[in-house]
Amino acid sequence: MKKKSLSRRKFIRNSAGLGITAGVESVFPSTAKSYSRIIKANERINMGVIGCGGMANAHMNALLAMKESDDIAITTVCDIYDKRLDAAKEKTTAQGVKNYLDILNDKDIDSVLIATPEHWHHRMILDAIDAEKHIYTEKPMTHTIKESREVVEAMKTAKVRLQVGVQGMSDDSYETANKYINDGALGDVVMAHIDYSRNYKGDDFWAYAIDNDAKPGVNLDWDAWLGPAPKVAWDPRRYFQWRKYWDYSGGIATDLFIHRITRILKSIDLKFPDTVVASGGLWHYEKTRGEIPDTFNMMVNYPQGLTALVVSSLANDTPIRHLIRGNLGTLEFTRSGFVISPQKAVTESVISGTGENVNESGEIVYQKTGAEDVTLHHRNLLNAIRKGDPLKCDQNLGYYGVVVCMMGVQSFRENAYLRWDETKQKVIKA
């Protein structure tokens, strides 16, 4: 078994929590090692779970159901809140730790699930890369564009695979749509639009229940949870409803839009945008205790010559049609796949002569395989580890999604029209 020391990248350590507390700078302990292990096709993969809140439970349920079929085991779980940690230990029968570094320093663990708030993803991903653990991280890949760029750079020489949890990419509709679009089925693509809307009862949204059992300094390490975020006094809303605060989340953009815009990126083979402008506001839930808007929209121009429109309201759940428009045809995503319809103005459409899956109206009807499903998304990572399969949402696609979504957040917060400088890989005022 090949061994090497972890790189001595600096971080701020608290051994009682997730690994970071304000004001105490350190490095990985000199006794910590990284382990590069070749996993055979018929060999069990041992996993660690970092963060045991709501979404993590959905992952753990899926992974436990995959135990026999996919030959995996959750061996260690980690959380800074004792109640969540104890519940995860009972669910998985795994050992529990309060410091995620204990998982990374365990030579018997092959892969980690990172299911923490967004502001922690970057630090944990880089540390997992150093520890040579394969990674499934919840979306978005990171909380900022700069952080995503650092992850992409680190992965260029990494010995591990990284899957970003945009599980919709395990639905093959989008990679298949890309083939049709590349073959000219739509002609020149000029516009795409997609939404993700909900409607919450009462006078607030994302108002997840406050657990009064949580007592910082007693059974919860608040400083460790804050980690790289600004230091503030204990606020249960910030802990249990963190998606509503800019310090830990991009709000609608990174919780909802990342799922939708990634579908467009994959389908049209887009990377970095040209310009982004966002709009919206707190139009209904005026009594909300958070910071983010309840209605949010992004209009994105891509250098290939098309506009993507992404819209959301959390006060009205009527969907819009999810379309990609071209001068020869229109592709509409459906629950069962997609339909490509020729434009009436086109007398002899490219798609009418393709033959495959074409109905009497000259439409192409595609029935999808796969689904927006965490089980399939985890299985894709497992197959990438064991057999070298391509990932459905790797660090590069994760980066492209973070760029456009966080440009939207910055545009909204600064009331600015923004441009992407691809040479410098940074956002500038348009």
Provide the pLDDT for residue 345. Answer: 79
CATH of 171-203+270-370+396-429, one of 3.30.360.10, 3.40.50.12780, 3.40.109.10, 3.40.50.300: 3.30.360.10
The model scores a pTM over 0.85: yes
Helix (H) or strand (E) holding 408: helix 395-414
Q: Which residues of the chain have pLDDT under 50?
A: 1-33, 347, 349, 352-355
- Contact by Cβ (8 Å): 59, 113: yes
Sign of CA dihedral 316, 210, 113, 125: positive
Q: What are phi and psi of 61, to 5 degrees?
A: -60, -45
pLDDT given for residue 38 in this prediction:
72
Which residues neighbour 356 within 8 Å (Cβ) at sequence distance 6 or greater? 364
Each residue's pLDDT tens digit, 135-168:
999 999 999 999 999 999 999 999 999 999 999 9
Report the alpha-carbon distance of residue 204 to residue 269 in Å, rounded: 37
Per-residue DSSP letter, 41: T
Q: How far apart are CA 243 and CA 246, in angstroms?
A: 8
E strand segments, 41-105 = 45-50, 72-78, 95-97
Say how many CA atoms lie within 13 Å of 425 toward its Cβ.
13
pLDDT on residue 27:
28
Instruction: Evaluate whether 151 touches 141 at the Cβ level (below 8 Å).
Output: yes
What is the residue type of 132?
A: E
**Alpha helices of 214-345 — where are they, by DSSP H?**
222-226, 236-240, 252, 258-268
| pLDDT at res. 362 | 82
In the chain, where are the structural domains located?
A: 171-203+270-370+396-429
With 0-12 CB in 10 A as exposed, 13-18 as middle and 19+ as buried, what is 62? Answer: middle
Q: Which alpha helices (DSSP H) does 66-185 contain, by range?
A: 82-92, 100-104, 121-130, 145-155, 173-182
pLDDT of residue 34: 59
- Convert the pLDDT of each residue in 343-355 to its tens digit: 987 745 455 444 4
Q: Which two tokens stand for residue 288?
A: 């909300």
pLDDT at residue number 244 = 98
